[in-house]
Structure 1
Amino acid sequence: MDSAALLDLLGNENRRRILRLLARKPCYVTEISEYLGVSPKAVIEHLRKLESAGLIESHTDDQRRKYFHIARNLRLEVNVSPYGFATKSAYPASKSLDMTTCRHLKLDVQYTEENHEPRDLIADLSRLEELENELSMAQRWVQGRMTDVLDRITESVGAGADSRLYADILLAVRSDSHSVIEIANSVDAPPAMVEEVLADLQENGLVRYTTDGWTLAE
């Protein structure tokens, strides 16, 4: 999809909120309507636009209920500077990408203010443009790998439709101890739901509760 059209599509706050919700788990229209606080008719129109853009897809369960979910990974980059405005959309790089071929990724940047000659400045600009392109490719590669790892976490938790929420909560407590309220705010979920997930994760030996709060089990 054209990056300018994608920017227009995501300029709507409710469409962004729908994508945030679907990034956690597949949802049907009524769930999305309650989450947004808008009418089902308005939700259906937002979903139609997102589906037409290829950002989401739908499937029907055994009860003939239609669920919507994120269709694919997509990265949107916006660059604004006094010298230009540019947007670029791209899918994550292939897993087969050899990142060792990117020459600048260690950011061995040597720049001096003493470069005043046009030829030197042009050389600097060329090198920075190469670095910009390689960093963009690296970001796409990282995005793809992160999604792959999250999918594997989700599969290992095995919590069905709520598995992404389980993964989000595990990520929320991975570095420090947190209260239920802090975790709920982090994953944008009701505290009661977070408590249920934490109890289940504790029973399976993945998290533990201490006097400082919830943390990953050792």
Structure 2
Amino acid sequence: MGSLAILVMHSGKWDDTNCYVDYTIEGVVFKEQSTFLDFYTTIAKQIGVDMNNKTLKIEYKVEESNKRMVIHNDMGVRVYVMLKKANIDFNKFPICITILDSCDRQISQYKEMGVLATVAENDCHDMIVVEPEDTNVAFLSIDTTWVISDESNKHVEVDQVYKDKSILKAVMERYAIKERFQYKTTRSNSIR
């Protein structure tokens, strides 16, 4: 069981010509038999990304085409390891990391259902539900353009959807002040 040294380019972006630019480069050593989780964790620790708040999109370019390969599971890691073992050159096939907010990509596992992954693309979220028997895969597209994520939202209506509870609370506090709501309560102690 050997180890491989790879180049990791991070904190950059993909330009219009499909080149990764404005990046920082580091070297990472990982075991050839690593699972995707081990590979992912090793890279995240090396480049200093907090996995509670951020997620990584791991990609590399194949020389013959202008397309990018995404490593997102154990098979992707095994293919990359075989490719690196066939090409000993340290500079070939560097890993390019795109750092995303954790709300952009979430992966949850449930015993009854299998794996539920939410991947953000543009203004829609695609949910993929994979059952444990791998018999059925369901795709559901949800439009998130109407989800309110701005705490300073002034327009309040019935049936609005908020990103989280803290945003809802902040909007409702501002709305209550703006509308001058007064709360009447009964005394808890009638003696006084």
Q: TM-score, normalised by structure 1?
A: 0.25
- As a proportion of its length, which structure holds more helix? 1
Structure showing greater radius of gyration is: 2
Q: TM-score, normalised by structure 2?
A: 0.27
- As a proportion of its length, which structure holds more strand? 2
